[in-house]
Each structure stands twice: as C-alpha cells, then as structure tokens.
Amino acid sequence: MTNTIPMEKLARILYCSVYDFSRIFSLAAGMSVSEYIRRRRLSQAVFDIQNGKDSIIDISLKYCYESQATFTRAFKELHGQTPASARKNGISLKTYPKITFKLIIKGVIEMDFRIENKESFKIIGFSCKIGSGEDWKEFLANYNERLKNDDSWGGPKSYYHAPLWQTEAYSYNHAEGENGSIIGAELGDKPALGGMDVKTFPAATYAVFTITSKAGEMEASDAYARITTEWLPASNYKIDENAPKMEVYLPNGNPNSNEYKWETWLPVTKK
C-alpha cells in the first residue's frame, strides 16, 4: 500500500492482459483495482493518523499522495472527516479490510458453447479508442444517435440487418499500442461505405457461448465471469491475446423479451 502498484506487473503475475486483469478484478471485488487500492490506503492511513506520531504530510507521502491537499481531499471524500479531525475521540470513520476468498460450489448450471475457427475478417461500423468508462459511454451514445439517421451512415442501414458485432478493448496496432473497440457488421463482400470505419481482424479460434438474458438485462458481466472462472480453467484452452473478444447480437432478437439470446466470442488457443 505504500509503494507504486503498476497494473502491468499485477497482470503479468496472472498471465493476462491489463484489460482482462482489471475486468476480472472488478467482477470479483465489485469495484475497480484503483478504487480498491485507494480505499485500502485511506483505511490504513486512519490508524497512522490516530497513532499521532507522524505528521499529516508524512502520512500523505507514505500512501503515495503527491501533496497533503490531495490526500486531505480524498480522505474527506471517503470518511466524511478531515485527517486532522480523525485524531479526535468519538469520530466516525470507515475501514476497508483486505479482500479474502471463500470456497463456493459452482458449475451446476449448464453453459452452451461451440468452437469456431474464423478466418480473417473485417468489421464496418464506428470505432472508439478506449480510455475510460466515460469515453465508452459517450461512444455508445453517439453510436445510437447515428443509428437513427440513414444519412449519418453514408448509406442504408441494410448492413445492420445482419448480426451486430461489438469488439471489446483490442489493440488494432500493437506496435503503436492503439487500443480500441468497434461496433458494426461483418463487411464480407460488400463495398465499404463513406463515413464509417473498417477494421481487419486476424484468423483465430473462438469459444462461442450462447447467453440467454432476462427481460431488459444483458448480464454480460455475469456471463464473462462464469466463462473466465468456470469454463476456461476446466478446458484445454487459454485466452488468445492476439485476437479481439467480441459480443454478437442477432438481428431479429428483442433485448426486452424474456428469452433474448446473444453470443460472446472468446478468442482461445490450446494450452
């Protein structure tokens, strides 16, 4: 808690990408890695403050805050009190203990999957460089707005009478580290339309899972958690980091129905 914690190092320990580590951690803990670290540091800082031996500025620096002002602001946001007032008796404060694990029984609910060998393919649609959750929300909002108007596509919506593909954070250019996502349809033999992005993806093997969602709920996080923690360890596969993870939405499905089915495509390779 008192040292810089590089996400790349944590991901390497678990033999996965930073993106996958962050997502798996959030599913398991119910919060992001950075938020967990922030809460743990501010929890530990309480005990240092109440010891009364170190100054607030020294405690700020100890827990990797650049200044006392930044530390004070974060401390008050979490605890509802200033660091100085935390030294008084009778002050209500919060604590966040270390994460612990417990053994639970899983695997009794069936999972429908198939293995697909997909040749190199192109997706035409709208792409976004993933930088934060806000970037993604803005991207989806703009995407849905552009869907309403044929003219904004530079052509007809007939492309999207086909299954709708959504790739997750994936490096389009590993050399330049250009991470992004694209929502669109498989281009196939059709000509590309103006005003739209086209991304080419490599040939890969996919484990394809059919997910049935409840009315109005996509439950992507639950599905991904089960695939990662139940199916993957029991299979003879590991995640292929050279291909994109994808979700595929069928053109005639109704997301508000009780039996809406969609697919998640996980790139895999033999262990």
Q: Check whether 102 has a pLDDT greater than 80.
A: no
Q: How confident is the model at residue 59 (pLDDT cuts 50, 70, 90)?
A: very high
What does the pLDDT average to over 264-269? 89
**Nearest partner of 198 among 120, 124, 146, 121, judged by Cα:** 124
pLDDT tens, residue by residue, 67-83: 999 999 999 999 988 99
Local structure of 8: helix, strand or coil: helix
How much of the chain, in percent, has pLDDT values that exceed 70?
A: 67
pLDDT (0 to 100) of residue 134: 47
| Mean of all residue pLDDT scores within the chain | 75
pLDDT (0 to 100) of residue 160: 44
Q: Check whether 41 has a pLDDT greater than 90.
A: yes
What does the pLDDT average to over 8-34? 83
Question: Which whole-number Å values give the CA distances from 145 to 152, 154, 196, 252, 268, in the listed order?
Answer: 9, 14, 14, 20, 34
What does the pLDDT average to over 39-45? 91
Q: Please, what are the domains in the chain?
A: 7-87 (1.10.10.60), 113-270 (3.20.80.10)
What residues pair up with 213 in beta bridges, in sequence order?
260
Characterize the bridge pairing of strands 260-270 and 204-213.
antiparallel
Q: Check whether 10 has a pLDDT greater than 50.
A: yes
Q: Which residue has the tokens 């909002």?
A: 141
What does the pLDDT average to over 92-102? 79
In whole angstroms, give the CA distance from residue 163 to residue 265: 13
DSSP labels, 107-175 = --S---EEEEEE--EEEEEEEEE--SHHHHHHHHHHHHHHHT-GGGGTS-GGGGGSPEEEE-SEEEETT
pLDDT (0 to 100) of residue 251: 58
